[in-house]
Amino acid sequence: MLARTGRLVASALGSPPRRRPDARARPSSPESGPTPRVTGAGYPGDYHGPLTAEYDPALDGNADPGEIVWTWVPFEEDPTQGKDRPVVIVGRDGSWLLGLMLTSKDHSRNYELEALRGRSWMDIGTGDWDRQRRDSEVRLDRVIRVEPTTVRREGAIMAPELFHRIVARLRP
């Protein structure tokens, strides 16, 4: 109760919200530095509209379409809060990267509920983006804008066949 009151006071005074620690969030590596993020007014909102997907990965320190990267993803209901998670980059919108978030949570068990909420997921298996090699799913109905400077690290290059299967099922 006291913690919530503190957050409410901080919010009323205009202080940035603190994010709760997430046991699954990965710590920054020494070479990547702290995790920068775009929150609140800095986030222009999710991308809607036609998307020109491209596959052009290169593990060169810059996030490119076809790569899975780790970055800050704002929550839909409150873009001032979010969490660090893997995202597959699928294209660009001006200076922004466009990405789809990944999760290791199994949404297929609640397929009907997810569909009622307008959410669509696709199983993509395991890969180098998850050190524990857990099965992952990609969300197909929410395209997130990613500020390139907020990408913390490159996790993996996605196989071209899988990338094109995801893009074929994409519903922005």
Q: Is 67 exposed, middle or buried (CB count within 10 Å of its CB: 0-12, 13-18, 19+)?
A: buried
Residue pLDDT, tens place only, 43-81: 889 999 999 999 999 878 899 999 999 999 999 988 889
CA distance 90 to 54: 6
Alpha helices in 18-159 (DSSP H): 111-116
Q: What would the pLDDT profile of 106-128 be if each residue is shown by its tens digit?
A: 877 777 777 778 789 999 999 88
pTM: 0.73
What pLDDT score does 41 carry?
57
Asked if residue 3 has pLDDT above 60, the reply is: no
Residue 115, phi then psi, degrees to nearest 5: -65, -40
Rounded Cα distance, 66 and 53, in Å: 9
Residue that is written with structure tokens 């929550």 in the block: 75
Give the range among 25-34, 38-47, 67-76 with minimum mean pLDDT: 25-34
